[in-house]
């Protein structure tokens, strides 16, 4: 298995919508395994295929970062069937360097998708799990969490990022688990 490159904002590939997986093949299963390895190595608690340059509707997540692998969820062609309530969560992203922001999401989300054996799976999440499910599905639709914050905050972040990249300032270490 290989650790894949995680594309970073403002890479235009992150803004493209993903296509449904028509058939689950050996290549699909291999991609999922590499995504899982990449997520844990990052370290992160969620990763969507577009973040590694694959415009396929696949997400992997594991919000139990203290016990990696014990509660791993992989979903192919996930769809939010139901959501309710409201929660504000401070989000970060493996594709968004050195930035966190409070984002309003549904407090509870029911997501349906397929597993690697083409079996339908339903995941009902509340709190962090609901947030991560919604965050990763946004990636499949070409959206980043910074698209859900005010334009002013997004523009300030973009200016700071461009300056950091232009000046060659070293990127900070990631002290926390990233979505």
Catalytic residue ranges? 136
Query: Residues 17, 52, 168, CA angle at the centre, nearest 5°?
Result: 110
Q: What are the DSSP E strand ranges found in 20-161?
A: 46-48, 58-61, 73-84, 87-93, 96-105, 108-114, 120-126
Report the run of H or E that residue 36 belongs to, with start and end: helix 26-41
Nearest in space to 174 (alpha carbons), one of 87, 75, 70, 65? 65
**Calpha distance 107→152 (Å, rounded):** 25
HSE-CB of 33 using CA atoms within 13 angstroms: 8
């Amino acid at each position: 298995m290989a650790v894949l490159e995680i594309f970073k904002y403002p890479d235009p590939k992150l803004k493209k919508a993903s296509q449904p997986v028509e058939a689950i093949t050996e290549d699909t299963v291999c991609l999922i395994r590499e995504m899982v390895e990449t997520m844990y190595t990052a370290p992160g608690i969620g990763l969507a295929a577009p973040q590694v340059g694959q415009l396929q509707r696949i997400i992997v997540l594991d919000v139990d970062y203290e016990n990696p692998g014990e509660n791993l969820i992989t979903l192919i062609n996930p769809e939010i069937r139901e959501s309710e309530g409201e929660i504000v969560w401070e989000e970060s992203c493996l594709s968004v360097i050195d930035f966190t922001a409070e984002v309003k999401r549904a407090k509870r989300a029911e997501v349906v998708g397929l597993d690697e054996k083409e079996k339908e799976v339903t995941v009902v999440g509340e709190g962090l799990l609901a947030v991560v499910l919604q965050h990763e599905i946004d990636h499949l639709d070409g959206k980043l969490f910074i698209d859900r914050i005010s334009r002013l905050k997004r523009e300030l972040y973009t200016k700071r990022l461009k300056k950091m990249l232009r000046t060659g300032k070293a990127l900070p270490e990631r002290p926390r688990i990233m979505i």
